[in-house]
């Protein structure tokens, strides 16, 4: 098999990764999570919890593969999904079976449902283009929870406030990469400038296609492929349908539907009015 | 590897991105399998059959790297007439002594030549041993040459036999063998990575030997991208073999003296100094070690205090020591950073040993099951043992974590990497270094006034590491400086082991580490990123020996000293400057490729210019091991102690030389095969989320929530057969004990088809026990004491068990015979009768075997 990445390229990528700790300010930042490089070690989950001092989710043996934290929530801001499929990967010689891992996280959508719906202004868009919940302003109304098309944001039971990934806002301010990306041993989680990440991701898809993994594609990499969210600042490389990873195939923030809904209301109102006037005229005749 | 070494696996994923093919051979489908190109599920314990199949494939299809094999391995050496292979003896080599249950190794030698091994059982030969022309056949045609013996030995390891033995379909096996061969030769190399999945068998050492044969045949040793990587179980396990916590070695793989034989320094040095090869340097290292330990007291006149060293009287490996404890022969026990009650086989017998002690010292982060064996244990729950009847006095010392102390880790590639203390340890927690240093100080003070000669070793021991700070903690750098070595006259650090002398003018704590403090600088603390230096990255930390990043790298060039290929160039002979040069420090004697040793050469002078394996007495990579091993010169497939099937390859069922402990009550064995009481195969392993016996992970919420309970993994087919439900309970049983655990039903476990028979494997991680935030019962309770004869490693990778749905009955007396009635003494025709005196004797040490004539 021909090398899909030269030694020089590999080293340059690593140098880039090492340099990703600096130059954060005033730039659009995000994650590119390449699930084909994920080994399901959960270092991201632990690094996230440690840096952000999050509590455990309880100690429940689920019997669902190696996933015992189940989903993203108020106290789990990175979550690794374990998917046992009765389907082979096209590049793997292991029978009709494969085990997929994917480290899920807040997508920091370009059009963010949570931010749209926050009545107090607690949720803001930062200078890094990330979506951030200010805990001192959040009043725990929970509108954001139902407005997230991914089910990411969640209220903590003890204090009622809404919590989610901050893209390690505090670390970014100090020119450091987010804890999960820093801890990821295989560079499955890549952090950096959004535009560069998109290029890297496109290249990676091309390389995977070249090596025979035709099923690889990007999820939410831009507004074109995901008009509902207008693109994700944390996007993914997947090898099966989004639903397999517990991701919505066509996510749309609910408030985005409000305009057409109001328009329909208006149309309906006009229609009813016309009908009423019409019938009035008819009656008069 | 992704499962247990996710950080190291970073480099595997990098290699994969650059086009490498990843092959994963494992009974279960792990996180490694998930990203591998090929996953090969095989029956636990059938590794040698699988590797032997590859050897057979390479030889049969002439896929070996001929020039490499002829020149750099002992393929051409002619064996003695007396040698008989397992082919002739239905699974036994010549020299088997059924009385003692051990091999006599004399018949395994090269024709007319005694030879010293580089490791393992050493001591004896006195004849200069460069392989002479009359003892070898470079055409590899002589029927008694190693190559032909190898061919015959592995001729029955066909793909069909692999299928019958391992449960690996022949076409899948062939794809693996092809991929491996395709990726070897002058232009390409392949590497093997292994961990305790290979070692924890009664044939553990021979599994690695089989891999070594493959790599030598394919020319994958001493060349970039090649090698065999031992992935160790903890940080710095490599370090704790280099500077050993092993009972039979001194630092730098110098053997501990034997009580009956090594009466003085001269005898000791003579015994272990190989007449040929680098071990000819032995006295320089032993004397320098004695100078480091006994300082001014060590003089040429008093044998450099050689007699102060403890001497071995027998096998004091872990399992033997525990058995001795249970027999009341051991008074006190230090357990530091280990949790043997959970991490070692037969927890019941482990605790029986602890109960018979006078005192026990445990140093750990938490009160582990070992520290509290007297309070929480299955036998106490059952009511078989009462806490008030246990006399052991337990001392618990809280330990400092690696972030709370300075020190170094040595990793699998022999890289010493320094770590700096970030914070002071909390409360009474202290580092091991601090504990041992102060214990030594107190003992010295205690005996200060003693005039008794037997106390001299303690009083003369150098113990003067600079201590500083409020807590007077010793400086780890001072220890590293002593390990590096120095000239006695001025205390200046030496540059490396070549500067060491046997006249007492140098001191060195560990010769292979010599150079790690070169120029008075802590070389292990270097952290230059690899993109700021050459791709070999010699300025990242420091590797032994002599900062060489690859051992035996002379083999990366052909016999004339030219790289085998441009693509794989590493070190080479520079004709213009008449020296070895390259990307790395040449791991070689400074001789030109054309050098041939004269007949009167001794020691390292005997290594020819085209003999890369300088630690071997003949400078060759050993396809065949003429001395040093207890259980045969070639790997041979034997079944594990408690198997489901008869050995498909030979009449001999198990490794004949394995160590067994015959204790009817606390270590009963199953039938070697077809035990109707125990129809399933159990294998154990680790998960990413927890650390070994759990002392470092079961007390942390962030790790514990990820794997919150003990479970076993079974295939849907076995679940159906045994009535198990996903998320439900199961009880696992052996003759030793029974445990209950949760069930995870998964397609990652697959039933294997062996010769028409279906073998169900049960997998179970062993991290949990009765303490910590998350708990469960430990599968090691089920395993017996039985071990590999070379290194006394326990067998945890396969036993026969019973599995039933539901929880176990509380307070049931497992060993009382209720659960495991003894079957009538069975006709185990294919296994040898047990040689019952084996474990008690000095296994692996047979002092009487050392030739009297050499004393």
Instruction: State the pLDDT at residue B850.
Output: 36
**Residues A33, A220 contacting (CB under 8 angstroms):** no
Q: In the predicted model, what is the mean pLDDT of residues B555-574?
A: 97
**Residues A226, A49 contacting (CB under 8 angstroms):** no
Burial class (CB within 10 angstroms; exposed 0-12, middle 13-18, buried 19+) of B302: middle
Q: Which residue has the tokens 């230090």?
A: B334
Give dist(CA B704, CA B728) in Å, integer.
20
Q: Which residue has the tokens 């509902």?
A: A228
Burial class (CB within 10 angstroms; exposed 0-12, middle 13-18, buried 19+) of A71: middle
Closest chain B C-alpha to A70 CA, distance in angstroms: 10
Which chain B residues are within 8 Å of A14, Cβ to Cβ?
Answer: 530-531
- Lowest-pLDDT choice from B4-8, B198-202, B764-768, B849-853: B849-853
- Lowest-pLDDT choice from A260-264, B463-467, B563-567, B613-617: A260-264
> Among candidates B105, B257, B271, which has minimal Cα distance to B854?
B271
* Angle at the Cα of B99 from the Cα atoms of B98 and B102, rounded to 5 degrees: 60
Residue B418 contacts A, CB cutoff 8 Å: no
pLDDT of A12 > 70? The answer is: no
Give dist(CA B431, CA B404) in Å, integer.
8
The string of pLDDT tens digits covering residues A18-32 is 555 556 666 899 999
Long-range contacts (CB closer than 8 Å, 24 or more residues apart) made by A64-70:
A65/A99, A65/B744, A65/B746, A66/A40, A66/B687, A66/B689, A66/B707, A68/B705, A68/B706, A68/B707, A68/B708, A69/A45, A69/B705, A69/B706
> Among candidates A149, A147, A112, which has minimal Cα distance to A132?
A112
Q: Do A93 and B172 touch (CB under 8 A)?
A: yes
Residue in B18, B34, B35 nearest the CB of A3:
B18
Half-sphere exposure of A281 (CA within 13 A, CB side): 5
Total number of domains in chain A: 2
Are A242 and A263 in a shared domain? no
% of residues, chain B, pLDDT over 90: 84
Residue ranges of the domains in chain B? 659-816
Which residue in chain A is spatially nearest to B690 when comparing CA positions?
A: A41
**Residues B672, B638 contacting (CB under 8 angstroms):** no
- Lowest-pLDDT choice from B209-218, B299-308, B597-606, B609-618: B597-606
Give dist(CA A142, CA A147) in Å, integer.
9
End-to-end CA distance of chain B: 47
Residue in A3, A68, A99 nearest the CB of B707:
A68
Closest chain A C-alpha to B515 CA, distance in angstroms: 29
Which chain A residues are within 8 Å of B703, Cβ to Cβ?
Answer: 46
pLDDT of A147 > 50? The answer is: yes
Which chain A residues are within 8 Å of B711, Cβ to Cβ?
Answer: 61
Are A200 and A277 in a shared domain? no
Which chain B residues are within 8 Å of A62, Cβ to Cβ?
Answer: 727
Q: Which residue has the tokens 């003296």?
A: B257
Instruction: State the pLDDT at residue A24.
Output: 65
Are A81 and A13 in a shared domain? yes
Give dist(CA B113, CA B119) in Å, integer.
18
The DSSP code for B390 is: -
The DSSP code for B824 is: P
Instruction: State the pLDDT at residue B120.
Output: 62
Give dist(CA B253, CA B117) in Å, integer.
12
pLDDT of A11 > 90? The answer is: no
B374 three-class SS: coil
A113: alpha, beta or left? (left if phi > 0; alpha if psi -120 to 50)? alpha
Give dist(CA B604, CA B369) in Å, integer.
50
Are A130 and A66 in a shared domain? yes
Which pair of tokens denotes residue A278?
Answer: 């019409």
Are A102 and A208 in a shared domain? yes
Residue B38 contacts A, CB cutoff 8 Å: yes
pLDDT of B843 > 90? The answer is: no
Is residue A281 one of the residues assigned to a domain? Answer: yes
Q: In the predicted model, what is the mean pLDDT of residues B112-128?
A: 65
Which residue in chain A is spatially nearest to B530 when comparing CA positions?
A: A11
Give dist(CA B94, CA B87) in Å, integer.
10
The DSSP code for B77 is: B
Which chain B residues are within 8 Å of A50, Cβ to Cβ?
Answer: 702
Within 10 angstroms of residue B375's Cβ, the number of other Cβ atoms is: 14
Give dist(CA A101, CA A95) in Å, integer.
18
Q: In the predicted model, what is the mean pLDDT of residues A80-85?
A: 97
Provide the CATH number for the domain formed by B659-816 in this structure: 2.40.40.20
Give dist(CA B206, CA B633) in Å, integer.
9
Is residue A137 one of the residues assigned to a domain? Answer: yes
Counted across chains A and B, CB pairs separated by less than 8 A come out at: 137
User: What torsion do the CA atoms of A195, A201, A206, A209 make, to the nearest 10 degrees?
Assistant: -160
Among A8-17, A249-258, B70-79, the range of highest mean pLDDT:
B70-79
Are A103 and A18 in a shared domain? yes
Are A91 and A192 in a shared domain? yes
When pLDDT is cut at 50, 70 and 90, the band that residue B603 belongs to is: confident
Which pair of tokens denotes residue A225?
Answer: 């492929």
Instruction: State the pLDDT at residue A88.
Output: 95
pTM of the model: 0.93
When pLDDT is cut at 50, 70 and 90, the band that residue B112 belongs to is: confident
Within 10 angstroms of residue B687's Cβ, the number of other Cβ atoms is: 18
List the domain range (segments joined by +) for residue A21.
Answer: 7-252
Are A155 and A239 in a shared domain? yes
ipTM for this model: 0.91
Closest chain B C-alpha to A228 CA, distance in angstroms: 32
> Among candidates B132, B128, B148, B149, which has minimal Cα distance to B140?
B148
Instruction: State the pLDDT at residue A14.
Output: 62
Which B residues, 472 through 531, put their C-beta within 8 Å of a C-beta on chain A? 529-531
Q: In the predicted model, what is the mean pLDDT of residues A69-87?
A: 96
Give dist(CA B10, CA A37) in Å, integer.
9
Residue in A14, A84, A93 nearest the CB of B531:
A14
Give dist(CA B765, CA B4) in Å, integer.
12
Q: What average pLDDT does the structure give for chain A? A: 91
- Domain CATH number, residue A89: 3.30.70.20
**Residues B834, B664 contacting (CB under 8 angstroms):** no
Is residue A277 one of the residues assigned to a domain? Answer: yes
Instruction: State the pLDDT at residue A8.
Output: 62
Is residue A88 one of the residues assigned to a domain? Answer: yes
Which chain B residues are within 8 Å of A10, Cβ to Cβ?
Answer: 14, 17-18
Concatenate the DSSP letters of all residues of B337-405 into one string.
S--HHHHSS-HHHHHHHHHT-SEEEEEESS--TTTTTTTS-HHHHHTSS-GGG---EEEEEEB--GGGS
Q: Which residue has the tokens 């441009």?
A: B566
Instruction: State the pLDDT at residue A262.
Output: 75
**Residues A82, A104 contacting (CB under 8 angstroms):** no
Q: Which residue has the tokens 């927690």?
A: B429
Are A180 and A264 in a shared domain? no
**Residues B678, B670 contacting (CB under 8 angstroms):** yes
Is residue A1 one of the residues assigned to a domain? Answer: no
Q: In the predicted model, what is the mean pLDDT of residues B366-383?
A: 95
End-to-end CA distance of chain A: 85
Which chain B residues are within 8 Å of A98, Cβ to Cβ?
Answer: 34
Instruction: State the pLDDT at residue B847.
Output: 35
**Residues B255, B310 contacting (CB under 8 angstroms):** no
Is residue A68 one of the residues assigned to a domain? Answer: yes
**Residues A35, A236 contacting (CB under 8 angstroms):** yes
Q: Verify cis geometry, omega within 30 degrees of 0, for the bond prior to B852.
A: no
Residue B748 contacts A, CB cutoff 8 Å: yes
Burial class (CB within 10 angstroms; exposed 0-12, middle 13-18, buried 19+) of B798: buried
> Among candidates B296, B238, B279, B537, which has minimal Cα distance to B412?
B238
| Residue A168 Cα to chain centre, angstroms | 15
Concatenate the DSSP letters of all residues of B273-286 into one string.
S-SBSGGGGHHHHH
Is residue A2 one of the residues assigned to a domain? Answer: no
Give dist(CA B82, CA B67) in Å, integer.
29
Give dist(CA B30, CA B7) in Å, integer.
16
Q: In the predicted model, what is the mean pLDDT of residues B492-515?
A: 97
> Among candidates B504, B509, B482, which has minimal Cα distance to B493?
B482
Which pair of tokens denotes residue B714?
Answer: 């079974």
Interface with B, mutate which of A15, A186, A210 (most B CBs under 10 A) = A186
Q: Do A5 and B17 touch (CB under 8 A)?
A: yes
pLDDT of A272 > 70? The answer is: yes
Q: In the predicted model, what is the mean pLDDT of residues B618-624?
A: 94
pLDDT of B359 > 60? The answer is: yes
H or E element: which one contains B3?
none
**Residues B461, B440 contacting (CB under 8 angstroms):** yes
Q: What average pLDDT does the structure give for chain B? A: 92
The β-bridge relationship of strands B486-487 and B506-507 is antiparallel
Instruction: State the pLDDT at residue A284.
Output: 66
Burial class (CB within 10 angstroms; exposed 0-12, middle 13-18, buried 19+) of B731: middle
Q: Which residues, 6 or more positions from B790, have their beta carbon under 8 angstroms from its beta carbon?
A: B120, B204, B205, B629, B630, B631, B844
pLDDT of B386 > 50? The answer is: yes
Buried b / exposed e along B658-673 (16+ C-beta atoms within 10 A): bbbbebeebbbbbbbb
Residue in A11, A18, A41 nearest the CB of B6:
A41
Angle between helix B47-60 and helix B146-153 axes, rounded to 10 deg: 120
Residue in B18, B688, B747 nearest the CB of A41:
B688
The β-bridge relationship of strands B23-25 and B38-40 is parallel
User: What torsion do the CA atoms of B755, B760, B766, B770 make, to the nearest 10 degrees?
Assistant: -150
When pLDDT is cut at 50, 70 and 90, the band that residue B841 belongs to is: very low
B50 φ/ψ angles, rounded to the nearest 5 degrees: -65, -50
């Amino acid at each position: 098999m021909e090398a899909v990445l030269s030694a020089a390229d590999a080293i340059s990528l690593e140098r880039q990764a090492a340099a990703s700790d600096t130059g954060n300010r005033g730039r659009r930042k995000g994650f590119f999570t390449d699930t084909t490089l994920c080994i399901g070690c959960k270092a991201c989950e632990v690094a996230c919890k440690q840096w952000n001092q999050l509590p455990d989710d309880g100690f429940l043996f689920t019997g669902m593969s190696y996933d015992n934290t189940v989903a993203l929530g108020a106290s789990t801001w990175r979550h690794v999904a374990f998917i046992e499929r009765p389907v082979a990967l096209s590049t793997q010689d292991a029978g009709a079976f494969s085990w997929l891992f994917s480290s899920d996280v807040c997508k920091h959508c370009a059009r963010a449902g949570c931010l749209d719906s926050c009545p107090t202004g607690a949720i803001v868009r930062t200078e890094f283009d990330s979506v951030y919940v200010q805990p001192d302003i959040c009043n725990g109304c929970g509108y954001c929870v139902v407005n997230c098309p991914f089910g990411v944001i969640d209220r903590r039971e003890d204090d009622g406030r809404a919590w989610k990934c901050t893209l390690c806002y505090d670390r970014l301010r100090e020119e450091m990469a987010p804890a999960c990306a820093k801890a990821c041993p295989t560079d499955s989680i890549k952090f950096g400038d959004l535009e560069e990440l998109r290029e890297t991701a496109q290249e990676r898809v091309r390389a995977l296609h070249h090596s025979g993994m035709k099923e690889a594609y990007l999820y939410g990499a831009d507004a074109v492929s995901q008009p509902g969210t207008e693109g994700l600042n944390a996007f993914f490389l997947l090898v099966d349908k989004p639903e397999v990873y517990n991701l919505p195939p066509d996510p749309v923030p609910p408030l985005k539907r409000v305009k057409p809904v109001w328009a329909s209301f208006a149309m309906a109102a006009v229609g009813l009015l016309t009908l009423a006037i019409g019938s009035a005229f008819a009656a008069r005749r | 590897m992704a499962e247990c070494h996710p950080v190291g696996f970073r480099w595997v994923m990098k290699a994969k991105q650059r086009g490498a093919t990843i092959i994963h051979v494992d009974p279960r489908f792990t996180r490694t399998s998930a990203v591998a190109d090929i996953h090969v599920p095989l029956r636990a314990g059938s590794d040698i059959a699988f590797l032997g199949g590859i050897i057979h494939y390479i030889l049969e299809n002439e896929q070996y790297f001929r020039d490499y094999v002829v020149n750099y391995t002992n393929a051409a050496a002619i064996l003695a007439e007396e040698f008989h292979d397992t082919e002739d003896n239905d699974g036994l080599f010549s020299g088997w002594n059924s009385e003692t249950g051990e091999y006599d190794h004399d018949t395994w030698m090269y024709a007319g030549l005694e030879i010293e091994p580089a490791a393992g059982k050493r001591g004896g030969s006195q004849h200069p041993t460069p392989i002479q022309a009359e003892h070898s056949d470079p055409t590899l045609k002589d029927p008694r040459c190693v190559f032909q013996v190898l061919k015959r030995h592995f001729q029955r390891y066909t793909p069909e036999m692999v299928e019958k033995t391992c449960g690996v379909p022949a076409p899948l096996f062939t794809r693996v063998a092809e991929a491996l061969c395709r990726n070897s030769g002058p232009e390409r190399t392949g590497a093997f990575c292994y961990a305790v999945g290979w070692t924890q068998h009664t044939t553990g050492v021979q599994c690695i030997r089989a891999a070594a044969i493959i790599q030598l045949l394919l020319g994958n040793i001493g060349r970039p991208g090649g090698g065999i990587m031992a992935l160790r179980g903890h940080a710095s396990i490599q370090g704790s073999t280099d500077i050993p916590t092993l009972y039979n070695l001194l630092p730098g793989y110098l053997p501990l003296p034997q009580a009956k034989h090594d009466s003085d320094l001269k005898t000791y040095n003579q015994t272990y100094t190989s007449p040929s090869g680098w071990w000819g340097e032995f006295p320089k290292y032993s004397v320098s070690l004695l100078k480091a330990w006994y300082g001014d007291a060590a003089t040429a006149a008093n044998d450099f205090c050689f007699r102060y060293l403890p001497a071995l009287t027998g096998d004091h490996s872990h399992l033997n020591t525990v058995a001795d404890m249970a027999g009341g022969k051991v008074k006190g026990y230090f357990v530091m950073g280990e949790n043997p009650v959970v991490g070692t086989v037969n927890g019941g017998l482990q605790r029986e040993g602890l109960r018979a002690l006078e005192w026990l010292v445990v140093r750990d982060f938490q009160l582990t099951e070992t520290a509290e064996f007297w309070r929480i244990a299955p036998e106490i729950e059952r009511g078989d043992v009462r806490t008030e009847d246990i006399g052991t006095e337990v001392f618990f010392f809280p330990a400092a974590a690696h972030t709370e102390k300075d020190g170094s880790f040595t990793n699998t590639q022999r890289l010493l990497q320094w770590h700096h203390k970030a914070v002071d340890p909390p409360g009474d927690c202290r580092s091991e270094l601090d504990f041992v240093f102060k214990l030594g100080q107190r003992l010295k003070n205690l005996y200060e006034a003693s005039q008794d000669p037997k106390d001299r070793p303690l009083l003369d021991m150098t113990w003067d590491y600079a201590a500083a700070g409020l807590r007077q903690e010793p400086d780890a750098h001072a220890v590293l400086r002593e390990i590096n070595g120095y000239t006695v006259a001025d205390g200046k650090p030496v540059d490396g082991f070549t500067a060491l002398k046997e006249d007492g003018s140098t001191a060195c704590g560990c010769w292979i580490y010599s150079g790690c403090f070169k120029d008075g600088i802590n070389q292990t603390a270097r952290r230059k990123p690899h993109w700021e230096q050459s791709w070999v990255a010699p300025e990242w930390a420091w590797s032994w020996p002599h900062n060489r990043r690859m051992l035996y790298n002379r083999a990366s060039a052909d016999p004339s000293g030219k790289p085998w290929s441009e693509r794989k160039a590493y070190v080479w002979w520079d004709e213009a400057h008449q020296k070895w040069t390259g990307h790395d420090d040449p791991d070689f004697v400074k001789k030109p490729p054309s050098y041939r040793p004269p007949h009167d050469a001794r020691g390292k002078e005997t290594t020819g210019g085209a003999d890369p394996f300088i630690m071997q007495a003949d400078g060759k990579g050993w396809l065949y091991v003429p001395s040093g091993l207890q259980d045969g010169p070639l790997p041979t497939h034997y079944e594990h102690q408690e198997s489901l099937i008869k050995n498909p390859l030979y009449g001999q069922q198990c490794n004949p030389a394995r160590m067994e402990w015959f204790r009817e009550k606390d270590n009963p064995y199953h039938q070697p095969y077809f035990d109707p009481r125990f129809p399933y195969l159990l294998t154990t392993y680790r998960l990413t989320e927890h650390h070994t016996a759990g002392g470092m992970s079961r007390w942390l919420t962030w790790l514990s929530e990820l794997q919150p309970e003990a479970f076993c993994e079974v295939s849907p087919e076995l679940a159906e057969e045994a009535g198990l439900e996903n998320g439900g309970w199961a009880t696992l049983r052996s003759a030793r004990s029974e445990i209950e655990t949760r069930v995870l039903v998964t397609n990652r476990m697959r039933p294997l088809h062996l010769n028409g028979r279906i073998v169900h494997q049960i997998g179970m991680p062993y991290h949990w026990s009765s303490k910590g935030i998350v708990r469960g019962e430990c599968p090691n309770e089920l395993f017996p004491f039985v071990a590999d004869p070379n290194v006394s490693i326990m067998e945890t990778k396969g036993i026969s068990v019973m599995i039933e749905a539901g929880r176990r009955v509380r307070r049931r007396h497992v060993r009382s015979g209720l659960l495991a009635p003894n079957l009538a003494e069975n006709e185990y025709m294919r296994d040898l009768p047990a040689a019952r005196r084996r474990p008690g004797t000095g296994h692996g040490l047979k002092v009487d075997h050392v030739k009297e004539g050499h004393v």
